[in-house]
Structure formats: structure tokens, C-alpha cells
Amino acid sequence: MTLQHPIVSPGWLVEHHSSVQVVDVRWSMDAGPKLDDYLAGHIPGAVFADLDRDLSDPPGLRGRHPLPSPERFAAVRAALGLATVPVVAYDDQSGAVAGRLWWMLDAIGHPCAVLDGGIQAWPGELETGPAASAPADDVAATPVAPVPWPADRFIEADQVEAAIADGSVLVDARSAERFDGRPNPIDARPGHIPGSVSRPWTANLGSDGRFLAPDVLREQLAALGIEPGRSIIASCGSGVTGCHDLLAARSVGIAGGRLYTGSWSEWSLDPDRPVATAPDPGRDEVDR
């Protein structure tokens, strides 16, 4: 089967559940991977993907969640059975974390979608313990060929400023408070990349935790310059929630877009990189 849209409804997943591999990507800044929550109750057949271990390399100078090597990600795909069938990823934060798996798989050409509303929107019963219908041993053990990360889907720190100067829109998915540079427990060096625009990932959602209607979402993104034909770059704290902005854009027909994987957790570590703050609405002050 093929996925017609990068976001699927709970009803769609109920109907097509047997034709996809469901992946639970629950994680939080405080708790890390929520394996205990997964074991306590998950969508039937879902396997668990650990953001820190499976979808990232160890933290360091490249940020908190640098991309794993193609070889490491191929091994993860093999172990989780993500080699041959479409994938539907979910979390408990309306796609804030599941979007990372969507972006990684989409970048290498493997069909993937995110469950709208996350596990809270699932209408059926939950399964406890390890997945009863996890990939069969012969499927999980089948080697998966590594696929190089495509250069046109990602951007490195040294390319960011030139891309903005060339007209790319760099959208920051962190909260407005973090973007403005207000002191917070996450960013040791508060602020944002000069020239970027703020689009908190939560702004893509309605009060019910589901994605906004396409016409509303399209209008809001266009107001920031995020529209078809424009080069889009997404950033955030560590290359996770930035994928949510790219997912929202894709859902309304804005294809492509690049992810700055290191994001603020990499950028802010280098004292030579400029930092902007916005103490007053619409005014940036740049510290070099």
C-alpha cells in the first residue's frame, strides 16, 4: 500500500492497521524514552523506538540528538521491522517526537506517516507488555542496506548563514520564550539564530491536540514565508521538534525543506556563532 498523506487519522489507522508497522516514539525532556509507558499500554502491534538510542547518535559537539550513521539506522530499521511496509509513528505529544522518525524515513524514501493526536486519539484497546505482534524473527533479522542521508534534506551549521542570505526561511520550532532568549533550564546560551523566524511546533495544533485544518495551517505558514517554491530550513533545540514544522508544511503541500539537525544545541555551543535575542516584539539584537 502507499501512504497518501504524511498525517493519518485514528480511523484510518484502525482500517489499515494490518498493512503498516506502528512505532511508538514516546519520549520527554525530563524522562527520556518512555519505555515504561509503552509497556503499560500501547497501540496493538506497535514496536518501541528509543529517540536517544535508535534515532540519534550520542550527544556531543553536534548537539543533543545528532543523526545516527546510515549503518546504525539501517540496523535499527532491521531490528524494528521497518524495512518493507509503510510506517505509522505516534507519541503522546501530538507528533512532537514521532515527527523525527517520520522525517528520517521520509528522507531516505521509506513511506511513513504520523498519527494525528497521538496515542490519546487511539479509539481502540491498548496492548500491554512487549508487542504481541512484533516483527517476526526472520523479518527483524533480515539485513537492511544503509541509505546515505541525502544532502538536499539536511543542512550543516556552516551552511546556515549563507542559506538565509540566499533567501531561505529558517523556522525555529522552540517556544517563543526560548526563541526570544529568555533564561530557561534548557538553553545554556539563550537566543536564536539571527535571521530565523519563530514557529513553535505547538502552533501547528488545535486545542484538541490535532493538526489545524489545512487552510488555517497554510495561511499561518504563508505569513512566515513558508510556502511552495521557497527554500525552508527547520531548526529547534536538537533536531526533533523542528521536524514537526516540516511535517506541518508537507501536510499542506509544501514539499522539500531541510532539517538543521544540530539546531540550537549545536549552534549555541560555539561561542563564535552569532546569537540574536528579541526583548521587544519584532526587534532582534545580535551578539557576536
Mean pLDDT of the chain: 93
Pick from 19-28, 225-234, 270-279: least confident: 270-279
| Residue partners of 219: CB distance under 8 A and separation at least 6 | none
Architecture of domain 152-287: 3-Layer(aba) Sandwich (3.40)
Read off the amino acid at residue 187.
D
d(Cα 10, Cα 50) in Å, to the nearest integer? 23
CATH number attached to the domain at 7-148: 3.40.250.10
Q: Which of 32, 30, 108 is nearest to 67 (CA)?
A: 108
Q: Do 7-148 and 152-287 fold alike per CATH?
A: yes
- Looking at residue 118, its pLDDT comes to 98
Domain map (residue ranges) of the chain? 7-148, 152-287
Reported residue count of the chain is: 288
What are the catalytic residues? 236
| pLDDT classification of 135: cutoffs 50, 70, 90 | low
Residue 29: count of CB within 10 angstroms of its CB: 11
Residue 189 C-alpha cell reads as 546560551
Sign of CA dihedral 38, 246, 239, 154: positive
The yes-or-no verdict on residue 94 having pLDDT over 80 is yes
Q: What is the pLDDT of residues 251-267, one digit of tens each?
A: 999 998 999 999 999 99
Give me the mean pLDDT over the 48-77 stretch.
97
